[in-house]
Amino acid sequence: AGVTREDKVLGLLLGTALGDALGASFEGRHAVTARTVDAVERADGTLVHTDDTALTMVLAEHLAARDHAGLDEDVLAGEFAAAWQKEPWRGYGPGAAQVFELIGRGMPWQRAAVSLFGGAGSYGNGGAMRVAPVAAVGTGPHHVAELGRRTASITHAHEDGQHGAEVQALAAYLALERESAPRVLDIDQFRHDLTRVVRCRAWHEKLDRVSELVRTGADPRHAAHSLGNDVTALGSVPMAVMSFVSNPDDPVAAIRYAIGGGGDTDTIGAMAGALAGARNGASTLPEHLVARLEVGDHAREVAGKLATAGHRGG
């Protein structure tokens, strides 16, 4: 009964696209008022997505096409690079663009990824922003986190860039497999499950803060100030989790909360949208907004395959 698994997987993809495309108009703003988001929602015309959705779709297709064969980083690296090459104007981070260019010239992704930032690798949120589809194929929390880390490592050699992908992947898994509306979301349990997989103090501190902010009913600006809203993984994934757990039953409200905090609004919106879309299903997304997305039909096709690909359960 209730929402089907396929509708939830589609919700994950369309929630990503909707959060990304709505947030894209506000990237870099200090904070965003509800009225300005209203105006974008009420307008017509295409809601153009950015790199976040483009790479999420590449990963979703990769996983859907390979079924039980699982994830192949070498193949996926080439697919990411090809997507960048085809549409370099989608707003890619400078580090990611550089890695994709090097991969396109034949450099192995391992070498390309560590070449960034003086050999430290990137701790940007590019691994986390595109990771959600792994939730549909992982066998359990640890497997999902591992898949998330592996997909991120193609461009993000820095540990923090990978931790962000682990946390977002696991959050998406919990939203898809454990948490279905109308069951009430247990925020403390959700946070507890996330912290069990990522054994890192900085992440635990941020996620603990999420519980506290939910308890006090913090508004988006306050939450963004406390958790961060920038292009780093540690400075954006916690705000996305916050946006979801404080609006668990309404994807558009979760996305609006994410955008309301300002900063990296397309990415925080995309990640919050993935979580809320996965929990509530695509059927809960407003039709007039979904109709304006670029990925609608393609997402439906991929979601159908992804919902039955790989292993199930947890």
- Binding region for Mg ion (CB under 5 A): 50-52, 91, 264, 266-267
Question: Of 58-66, 94-102, 185-193, 293-301, which part binds ligand R7I (CB under 6 A)?
Answer: 94-102
Query: With contact defined as beta carbons under 8 Å apart, do 306 and 137 qualify?
Result: yes
Nearer to Mg ion, 247 or 267 (CB): 267
Q: Which two tokens stand for residue 232?
A: 């780093």
Q: How far is the CB of 70 from Mg ion (least distance, A)?
A: 27
Among 39, 120, 202, 291, binds ligand R7I (CB under 6 A): 120
**CB closer to ligand R7I out of 50 and 243:** 50
Give least dist CB 262 to Mg ion, A.
12
Residue 262 in contact with ligand R7I, rule: CB under 6 A: no
In DSSP terms, 269 is beta-bridged to none
**Rounded to whole angstroms, how far apart are CA atoms 150 and 186?**
29
CB of 140 to ligand R7I, least distance (A): 27
> Is the Cβ of residue 80 or residue 190 nearer to ligand R7I in the bound state?
80
Nearer Cβ to ligand R7I (113/223): 113
**Considering the rule CB under 6 A, would residue 166 count as an interface residue with ligand R7I?**
no
Which among 157, 28, 49 has a CA at the least distance from the CA of 96?
Answer: 157
Pick one of 3, 71, 112, 129: the residue that binds ligand R7I (CB under 6 A): 129
- What does the per-residue mask of binding to ligand R7I show for 42-71, with x meaning CB under 6 A? --------xxx-------------------
Q: Kindly give, in sequence order, each residue whose CB lies less than 8 Å from that of residue 243, ignoring residues fewer than 6 positions away.
A: 220, 223, 254, 255, 257, 258, 261, 268, 272, 276
DSSP letters spanning 87-98: -GGGT--HHHHH
- Write the Ramachandran bin of 230: left for phi over 0, alpha for psi from -120 to 50, otherwise beta: beta
Nearer to Mg ion, 56 or 267 (CB): 267
CA 17 to chain centre: 10
Helices (H), 125-219: 126-129, 141-153, 159-173, 187-197, 201-215
Q: Does 122 bind ligand R7I (CB under 6 A)?
A: yes
CB 143 within 8 A of CB 178: no
Question: Hey, is 108 helix, strand or coil?
Answer: coil
Provide, rounded to whole angstroms, the least separation between the CB of residue 186 and ligand R7I. 30
Residues 170-229 that bind ligand R7I (CB under 6 A): none
Among 36, 66, 104, 117, binds ligand R7I (CB under 6 A): 117
Burial, 288: exposed, middle or buried (Cβ in 10 Å; 0-12, 13-18, 19+)? exposed
Return the residue of 61, 166, 179, 266 that touches ligand R7I, per CB under 6 A: 266
* Closest CB 181 distance from Mg ion, rounded Å: 27
Residue 232 DSSP code: B
Distances (CA, A) of 43 to 11, 73, 75, 273: 22, 40, 39, 20
Closer residue to ligand R7I (CB): 93 or 260: 93
- How far is residue 308 CA from its own chain's centroid? 21
Residue whose CB is less far from ligand R7I, 127 or 281? 127
Query: Which of residues 144, 174, 231, 255 is near ligand R7I by CB under 6 A?
Result: 231
Question: Residue numbers of the site for ligand R7I (CB under 6 A)?
Answer: 50-52, 91-96, 117, 120, 122-126, 129, 158, 231-232, 264, 266-267
